[in-house]
Amino acid sequence: MPQQPDVPLDGLYGDLVMDHYRRPRNRTPLVDADVEAEEFNPFCGDRATLQIALDEQGEVRDVSAIAEGCSIIQAATSMLSGLLEGKSLDEVSALGERFRGAMHNGAGADETGLGDLLALQVVRQYPVRIKCALLPLTALEEGIKAYRSKAR
């Protein structure tokens, strides 16, 4: 992927990021969530709240993802929420690892299944914003961890 260090902020995030920012997916709160978590980043006032309801097979049946704050967290939360349905929590965790790797090291052989999240690669030029992009994932991981310790 070519480096573009001088892109103006307006064009920076690309159509896909702006689309998720303007029309965030899965914003309806769940009443029957199995996994729930919220993360807050005081640096830019970002907040991500994620909920997951599981089916009998332990796969994601329903997702709610609500973000407040900058455009990046809102887009990232929406993008992440769109990739979870039908996955087991192990698959969700594996996807999260690939997303984190792509944000820190660039997309490579491990980008399989990242879908719209790959558009967030543009944020890599702005290291402080990587945290914005990863905040919903951190919330998701905390939620899964809490769910597993409860289920045991």
Tell me the C-alpha distance between 117 and 9, whole Å: 19
46 binds Zn ion (CB under 5 A): yes
* Residues 6 or more apart in contact with residue 141 via CB below 8 angstroms: 93, 96
The residue from 18, 44, 118, 130 that contacts Zn ion (CB under 5 A) is 44
Contact 115, 83 (CB under 8 A): yes
DSSP 37-69: EEEEETTTTEEEEEEEEE-TTSBEEEEEEEEES
Smaller CB separation from Zn ion, 37 or 72: 72
Smaller CB separation from Zn ion, 118 or 130: 130
Tell me the C-alpha distance between 143 and 38, whole Å: 8
Provide the minimum distance between the beta carbon of 17 and Zn ion in the complex, in angstroms, as a whole number. 13
Smaller CB separation from Zn ion, 35 or 66: 66
Smaller CB separation from Zn ion, 5 or 42: 42
Nearest CA among 86, 22, 34 for reference residue 57: 86
Which positions from 60 to 89 touch Zn ion by CB under 5 A, shown as an x/- string? ----------x--x----------------
139 binds Zn ion (CB under 5 A): no
**Interface residues toward Zn ion, by CB under 5 A:** 44, 46, 70, 73, 132
